[in-house]
A and B are shown apart, each in its own frame.
Chain A
Amino acid sequence: MFELPSGAEIQSIIASLSASVGFFIPEIYLSVLFMLLIVVDLVAKGRKNNLLAVTTLLGLAGSIFFIYQQHFLPAKELFFGMYVLDEFGIFFKYFFVLAGMLAVIITMADEQFESEVKSMGEYYALIIAMVIGMIMMASSADLMMIFLSMELVSFSAFILTGYFKRDPRSSEAALKYLVYGAVSSGLMVYGFSLIYGLTGQTNLINISSELSQHGYDPLLMILATLLILAGFGYKIGAVPFHFWAPDVYEGAPTPITAYLSVASKAAGFALLMRFFYIAVPHGGPSYEDILGINWVSLLILLSISSMIYGNVVALWQKNVKRLLAYSSIAHAGYLLLGIIVMDAFGTQSTLFYLLSYFLMNFGAFYVVILIANKTGSENLEDYRGLGKKMPLAGAALTVFLISLVGLPPTIGFIGKLMIFSALLAKGSLYIWLSLIGIMTSVISLYYYMLIPLNMYLRESPQSEEKNMNPGMVAQIIMAVLMFLTLYFGLFFQPLSDFAKYSSAMFGLRLY
């Protein structure tokens, strides 16, 4: 039987909660925005004007101000260790809000919504819900909180994926996403329960100290990490938890695809880093593994298989969104490399790589939408001759793809450079991993170049002159993204410094 807390205890709980609220303002603000959007939708009566989109955009932009304020607060655990405010979390707050803004901008450009959807009411509200969920994923410090925030993201994502109700591909994608999501979160929760059984704790830091004080059964530990990895691996889209990715990416509305491929992956990585760096012991003297296998070896396995599988299977794709889906699987593999090295440099390079992936992947999807608006197709064959008809779009897409390959002078090159530097800074330990990474990126060149190949080297079968101008605003957005991809490829210092600043978790500089 629970005893009712005494009046003094309730007082102290309330005091503690209200003390934490001050550190929680961006999340509160976004929740208010979420509700506001529902009200605005009622006022606008689902009419397809841009009122909702603009409100969302401005609302998200406003949250940046509140996030910025948090730089001046000390790193701190909130709400009885459920939640945390630290540089690492702030980095991802910016990341998800900016990604949300780009998703809204891309949605405004996508003409498919005109024909497929009657009302945009819930759409923007759900995007906000997803942003909140991801922010909370990146800042959770407790197993319960991790699970709750992950589910918040997943449920919003399921609905958004199936938002084109009349498109069977979209519905199929949503169902697949749901089924795989349910299975993997089930596995993950089972892993959490094993951890809880081992330690009696749900807070990440407490788990860590409990494990190092009392030791643990290595077999049980590896089983728990494996199960938890199923959940995280699903979010980041790493092999062998990737099966949903191609269908979902192909079927979902393209802005959602772009958002999932960048932000959902980043959220998964944030969790992965926080959980494995903090909760599960590694390296120290109390550390035990079984048959030389520990979670680092599991991550290495995931990373290698993602890089090879993603890049090789992409070679045969005929649909550009599907091709980018496999490429995103491969990029999950590259990102894992930065985590495997397990030091501050590795974390920094992973965060930097996420930033670079943000720019180039959003850019690529944006151009894919603009092209689909004009040609009505995402098939490689229909890209023939587009380089001449849409010169800026062609050039921009080429830059983004080159960046995805990792060639200079683009930001993608710097991302790869930093990841491989982090690997090689460990001496000869991980040379073979970097070799696999490098070899697979050569393979990736082939399929990425299929797109410019079709755009520039092949002539379009029908030569009628249609108006292919995507409009002034779209041109500017494209040009800005392209410019940033190139600019940060040459002058990457600010981003890299920011990534370094953000690699502190719980106020601790790791390692």
Chain B
Amino acid sequence: MLSLIVFLPIIAGLVILAVPSSQKQIIRIVSLLAALAQGVLAVLIWRGYDPSLPGITAGPGGSPLGSFQFVEKIPWISLQLGGFGSLNIEYFLGVDGISVTMVILTALVSAIGVLSSWTIQKQVKGYFILYNLLATAMMGCFVALDFFLFYVFWELMLLPMYFLIGIWGGPNREYAAIKFFLYTLFGSVFMLLVMIGLYFSVIDPVTGNHTFSLVAMANQANYIKGAILGPDNVMWRYVAFSVLFVGFAIKVPMFPFHTWLPDAHVEAPTPISVILAGVLLKLGTYGMMRINFPLFPEVFHASLYVIGIFGAINIIYGAFCALAQQDLKKMVAYSSISHMGYVLLGLAAGNSEGMVGALYQMFNHGTITAMLFLLVGVIYDRAHTRQIDKFGGLASYMPVYAAFVTVAWFASLGLPGLSGFISEALVFVGAFSSVTTRYIAMVSVLGIVFGAAYLLWSLQRMFLGQRKPDAAYDLVVGDDGHEHIHFHDWKGKIDLDGRELVMLVPLVVITIFLGIYPMPVLGMLTTSINKLVQVLSPLAMR
């Protein structure tokens, strides 16, 4: 099941390889079918998932696989190494509450990304092959339970992303693409060293061999005393934790490693922005929850304060930057940085409320930001500009669009009744109840105020009032005597067309539904989060 959901896109990619590049429609449809099939599988996984099993790690005495579900475990490579024993790598997939949430999010966002890619006209074949490769890599990261496998998928994301930004991006795409590539590679090569170090430090309790299994690594009893990352090697454990943290923080992105994100977003085509904000950023925080924290719980506890402070900086700094932006997409990009700060804050709280809030915020941020970028893409397609002050009074000419924007913007600023509110509230509940992060949380609340400020301000400038003299569109008086909006060289429907509605409506429905009744998602992840908190708690370390 999990193999299928991971490799479906790549199979579609191989099919596309055989299709002549002139058959653009077939290529698109094959990709869409793969994405829809992925969606169906995600629903099946969601229905078949038993929320009472925690996952995270194999407890003492339990099954060696832990209580992961849909597990697939096949020996992949078993090398004899000179003088050392053997190197064992497994093809090990499985989900628990943390990853199943992300799997559903990934399936959803990839499908919407395919729809959003319909307007790509340049080198359609190459585009969809890379897109499908990316989709496979993302999904693979979320279900891999072997560190080696995770790393392969993690690195596999970089190349397609580089080309997707670099070939189909905006004017400054070369710079943005290589910046993205270098930043993320910089983070991940250190992860490679930590991975090797961990391998030498961990013994699989069942086989007695060294192992890459994250399930075994998450249990501190499996570490060898005296090994490089063994329990007594405090200094290297701190170093390894920091290195991993930076690697994941670059992906989040956390201040001060965030500068690639605005560039990448501004240059990337709309669907890639959607994927980037909707899924890729979550991989950073997912990596922290799956690898960084449970493998080094004592270091995690020692650095709660630091993580919290960086979270607060992200929230406030991101909001300030967003406030200063003229480019709508850049504003949304900075708002992403700000909102990922809440995730970091929730993680830093270290308790169930905070962690649940963090994971839920990851899900909600995925859906909401996907929506935001889609909406930015809609106006950019029509007006070929994203400068906020080139618009004005759009609400009267594009009412449906304005309505969707309003919902998305309000969801983003955390209006009660929409999903963003619940996760942010949970994060703050968690952060306030933890002694470490209490004061950080108080400062971070300011972020909500600034968040409201930039969102409402941009809403007002673009949609309310009158057309500005230098606006990116003209007003013409139509046959019916009303004023209509006219974009230069835009032949399509002025307001949202059918394809755009198909992309946006499900996201809006999810946002509203999960704002009113969050249990379908929360119910799925709480058991795992409780277990994670227990694994991370200082008591469990002994």
> A residues near B, CB below 8 A?
343-345, 347-348, 388, 398, 402, 407-409, 413, 416-417, 420-421, 424-425, 427-428, 431, 434-435, 438-439, 441-442, 445-446, 449, 452-453, 456-458, 491-493, 496-497, 500, 503, 509, 511
Contact = CB atoms under 8 A, between A and B. Distances in A.
Contact of A409 (B83, B152, B190): B152
B82 A453 contact: no
Top 10 nearest A-B pairs by Cβ distance? A344-B82, A344-B83, A408-B152, A438-B189, A457-B166, A348-B82, A345-B82, A424-B196, A408-B155, A496-B79
A509 B193 CA distance: 28
Contacts of A435: 193
Interface in B466-506: none
Contacts of B190: 438
Contacts of B185: 407, 442, 445
Contact of A424 (B79, B80, B186, B197): B197
B200 A424 contact: yes
Contacts of B82: 343-345, 347-348, 500, 503, 509
Interface string B177-204: 1100110011001101100110110000
Contacts of A458: 174
Contact of A438 (B84, B173, B193, B197): B193
B98 to A, nearest CB: 24
Nearest to B125: A391
A456 B163 contact: yes
A445 B200 contact: no
B118 interface: no
Contacts, number: 101
Nearest to A439: B189
Given A417-B196, A449-B181, A456-B167, A493 B79 contact: yes
Given A408-B151, A457-B173, A500 B80 contact: yes
- Among the interface residues A420, A491, A497, which one has the most CB atoms of the partner chain B within 10 A? A420
Contacts of B49: none
A511 B286 CA distance: 42
A388 B151 CA distance: 30
A420 B193 contact: yes
A343 B80 contact: no
A216 to B, nearest CB: 28
A501 to B, nearest CB: 9
B193 A409 contact: no
Contacts of B186: 442
A242 B83 CA distance: 33
Contact of A407 (B158, B163, B182, B227): B158
Interface of B: 77-84, 87, 123, 151-152, 155-156, 158-159, 162-163, 166-167, 173-174, 177-178, 181-182, 185-186, 189-190, 192-193, 196-197, 199-200, 227-228, 233, 236
A409 B157 CA distance: 11
A471 B156 CA distance: 30
A158 to B, nearest CB: 37
B228 A428 contact: yes
Given A388-B123, A408-B155, A457-B173, A343 B228 contact: no
Contact of B81 (A345, A439, A446, A456): A345
Contacts of B182: 442, 445-446
Most chain B beta carbons < 10 A, residue from A402, A449, A491: A449
B156 A409 contact: yes
A431 B185 CA distance: 19
Contacts of A511: 83
A201 to B, nearest CB: 29
Contacts of A503: 82
Contacts of B159: 398, 402, 407
A408 B156 contact: yes
Contact of A453 (B83, B123, B178): B178
Contacts of B156: 408-409
Nearest to B159: A402
A348 B81 CA distance: 8
B212 to A, nearest CB: 11
Nearest to B78: A493
Contacts of A497: 79-80
Given A435-B193, A445-B185, A453 B84 contact: no
5 contacts: A408-B155, A425-B200, A427-B227, A492-B79, A497-B79
- Among A409, A452, A457, which residue has the most Cβ atoms of chain B within 10 A? A457
A409 B178 CA distance: 20
Nearest to A441: B189
Contacts of A427: 227-228
A425 B83 CA distance: 10
B173 A445 contact: no
Nearest to B226: A427
A362 to B, nearest CB: 21
Nearest to A346: B82
A409 B506 CA distance: 35
Contact of A446 (B155, B178, B196, B228): B178
A424 B189 contact: no
B236 A428 contact: yes
A345 B199 CA distance: 15
Contact of B162 (A343, A388, A439, A449): A449
Nearest to A450: B178
A176 to B, nearest CB: 34
From A409, A428, A509, name the one whose CB has the most chain B CB atoms within 10 angstroms.
Answer: A428
Nearest to B233: A428
Contacts of B80: 497, 500
Contacts of A398: 159
B163 to A, nearest CB: 6
B56 to A, nearest CB: 26
A420 B196 contact: yes
A424 B78 contact: no
B193 A493 contact: no
Which of B83, B162, B173, B192 neighbours the largest number of chain A CB atoms within 10 Å of its CB? B83
Given A345-B82, A438-B193, 6 more contacts: A407-B155, A427-B227, A434-B193, A438-B192, A457-B177, A500-B80
B163 A421 contact: no
A457 B176 CA distance: 12
Contacts of A388: 123
A46 to B, nearest CB: 44
A421 B87 contact: yes
A482 to B, nearest CB: 13
A1 B79 CA distance: 58
Q: Which of A409, A413, A445, A496 has the most CB of B within 10 A?
A: A445
Contacts of B189: 438-439, 441-442
A347 B173 CA distance: 43
Nearest to B186: A442
B236 A453 contact: no
A456 B130 CA distance: 13
Contacts of B163: 452, 456
